[in-house]
Amino acid sequence: MIIAVVASFVIGYLLIVFEHPIKINKTASALLAAVACWTVYMLGTTEEPHLIVEQLSHHLAPIAEIIFFLMGAMTIVELVDAHQGFKIITNRITTRNTRTLLWIIGIVTFFLSAALDNLTTTIVMISLLRKLVHNKEQRMMFAGVVVIAANAGGAWSPIGDVTTTMLWIGGQITAVNIMKTLILPSLVCLLVPLIAFSFQMKGEVERAAYDTKEALKIEKVKGSGLMFTLGLGALLFVPIFKTVTHLPPYLGMLFGLAVVWVASELIHVDKTEEEKKPYSAIHALQRIDVPSVLFFLGILLAIAALESTGVLGGAAVLLSEKVGNLDIITSLIGALSAIVDNVPLVAASMGMYPLATATVNPEAYNFALANPNLVTEGHFVFGETMYFLADAKMWEFMAYAAGTGGSMLIIGSAAGVAAMGMENINFIWYLKKIALFAALGYVAGIFTYLAVYPIFAVH
């Protein structure tokens, strides 16, 4: 039975990896893999059917939290974009100097990605580049920088990257700790490529015909400033909401969505239904990336089946025996995320390494509290199983590695795929022009994290 479950997952995963050659959307493959894994598990096990259903329901609760969180965040971003709120930032970047623009684009993308998410930020910044840079080759270089900056910026924020959000919602990391421990490694991951690119990119950019003053005048939408402030504030408020109320993050995100939704209704209260439709939350909900949401649902359910059958636990033991060093294992996971999607990699890792908290594994958690001398870098052995506490070194390191490792290939992250589609960036071109600098930044960030970890270590 276990072999059949693993085979179902591997086949589904291969379909996801080769999405473009076989021309089958990865969302369909993920959903098929999820249903196949659970069906094979149900038909092949000797356990009572109701026990399998209980396991499925147990896994569905945390997955649903991630789905609702993502849908709320996507809708807020779409509402802000519908009101052209992001142009408050983008219309103020006017320099023609290549190096100056390089650093402005990199730094703005880095911090904007932490507040929004790496995919949305990439789309916003490349849309800006189309107005600022007319030369195709120059613009592709800047797009490569955007991919690196967006992934680096998303890694240190609990709402900046799907994988970091998964770890945060799952309880593996806490918001304040992940920000203070990863902001420096993530910044180094960006600064190293920026410095390298600065020696290559000289002179001025070829600007497209774009009048900033005229754009601000013509493209102004009522309430753009208010919606930008409210939208950004709603996203940044979510970690505060969780810290103060101890309620799940998705409730904070839904609260923020409700506030922004009400504001959008009041701003256009004097318009007819047809006139205010493009600026409404209903329209924003129609524009959110539903296929991506369903992809996360499918892949997380498939991973949950592997966890329930004990496959992931066995894989963790095998890795510990063959590799041993958790830092090397985590670094390899980050490098592997440049080839395959980081979401299933992180989801699998979360299933491979059990979390010890007062609610998830109280017996193991109490053991760790009673025996702090047996806890090393947030992990310990209880019985025959290795458990990890919240904010353990491996979880922090994984948030960085999985978030930034994908920058090394254009297909390694959602940001890279978005840039690839928007600018028609060739895989080989990115490999020749960008990959090496991205890899240098990734490795530099790893050494930075390992150097600063003792300073911020909570275990």
Flag residues of the chain having pLDDT under 70.
Answer: 90, 207-220, 312-317, 319-320, 340-341
- Say if residues 145 and 194 touch (Cβ distance below 8 Å): yes
Residue 455 and residue 445 in contact, taking contact as beta carbons nearer than 8 Å: no
Task: Give a yes or no: residue 366 inside a domain.
Answer: no
Residues with Cβ within 8 Å of 272's Cβ and at least 6 positions away in sequence, in order, are: none
Tokens of 331: 């670094």
CA–CA distance, 320 with 253 (Å, rounded to integer) = 37
69, 253 Cβ separation under 8 angstroms: yes
**pTM for this structure?**
0.77
- Give pLDDT, residue 313: 64
> Hey, what are 144's tokens?
């490569």
Q: What is the pLDDT of residue 437?
A: 94
Q: How far apart are CA 155 and CA 258, in angstroms?
A: 27
* Residue 369, in any domain of the structure: no
**Total domains, the chain:** 1
Q: Does residue 284 contact residue 36 with C-beta atoms inside 8 Å? A: no
385 occurs within a structural domain: no
Given a contact cutoff of 8 angstroms between Cβ atoms, the answer to whether 150 and 122 are in contact is yes
pLDDT (0 to 100) of residue 450: 94
Q: Tens digits of per-residue pLDDT, 104-148?
A: 999 999 998 988 878 778 888 887 787 788 888 888 899 999 999
Domain that holds residue 431: 2-355+390-456
Show Cβ contacts of residue 95 under 8 Å, excluding neighbours closer than 6 positions. Answer: 101, 104
In angstroms, the CA 149 to CA 138 distance is 17
In a domain, 152, yes or no: yes
Tell whether 85 is covered by a domain: yes
> Is 68 contained in some domain?
yes
From CA 161, how far away is CA 189, in angstroms rounded?
A: 15
Residue 118, SS3 per DSSP: helix
What integer pLDDT is reported at residue 438 of this predicted model? 94
Bridge partners of 379, per DSSP, are 376, 388
Q: What is the pLDDT of residue 341?
A: 67
Question: Is residue 360, in this structure, part of any structural domain at all?
Answer: no
Instruction: Outline where 201-341 has alpha helix (H).
Output: 212-218, 224-245, 249-267, 273-276, 281-287, 290-308, 311-322, 326-336
* In contact, 152 and 404? CB cutoff 8 Å: yes
For residue 368, tell me if it sits in a domain: no
